[in-house]
Amino acid sequence: MSLIIPPHYKNLLGSVENTEKAIKTVKDMFQANLSAQLALLRVTAPMTVLSGTGLNDDLNGVERPVRFPVRSMGERQAEVVHSLAKWKRLKLAELGTAPGRGIYTDMNALRPDEDLDNLHSIYVDQWDWEKVIRPEDRTVDFLRKTVRRIYEAIRVTENKLFVEFPQLVPFLPEDIFFIHAQQLLDLYPGMSPKERENEIVRKHKAVFVIGIGAPLSDGIPHDGRAADYDDWSTPGEDGLPGLNGDILLWNPVLEQAFEVSSMGIRVDEAALLRQLALRGEEHKKELYFHQKLLAGALPCTVGGGIGQSRLCMYLLRKAHIGEIQSSLWPEEMRAACHAAGIDLA
């Protein structure tokens, strides 16, 4: 069991009731701020998709989706989503959304292979968002502009939350710092990716790491990414690969880097073919989603997911994601948390 118990931890909101009120405040404010910053329309999204269509997110390629047969559809297999990375792009095509506008939704997923700890649960809730862009917007500069808008939505939420709950003093810096994963490796060559993240985020407090998925100079990617949604192989600035990345914030409670969003400019036809070949997954070209993309039937987009429980945990200065959401936890974890004043839902 991996568990961090912060010394002298205290629930700044005083009670579970106040925590529940603050959770609703964060969720209401942030989605309004995000929608305004990125010009997003809220839509309803599925919790399940049919197996074998290529619609589900493969994450790192090893996680098992929850599958079940659907009796009224001839026992066809369906699966609970890991995320809506590809579904959103199909939805934008269906809506005929113009460049500069997009959608967001409440995404609820099950990831039974997660290692449960302070940050990870088998239940995942996030704001999944996607926005149509022009082909000429597929650049690192455009990615940065989008990240800054999301970061501003987070900061505005943090500042408004302080008005409602004065004990939650704002912590975030005015600006977010950008660095490519290769530059981060060059800066801290003897460290693991997570150790490098901790060092850079400890220094800058808010960081966007660009280029996650492509092998770096040591032959190892900074972190895993599926081949068929984020573009992690197209050369960007200084010839470094990748038009995607993660938003990381310094967590003063856990004293470590804290990921709140994974996002990026999505693959076009050339990037999809290149990344499938790099991963040895060329058989996926025959799947429904991939056929639509290769036929030019899907728009260029940028998109990502922003963890709902993660963001609430961060802004409310909680030590465990189980203080925000109701999920399944090992009994020994519940006992250790309760003894430290961390009450899991």
Q: Which residues are catalytic?
A: 57, 111, 126, 246, 259, 262
Tokens of 270: 């050339």
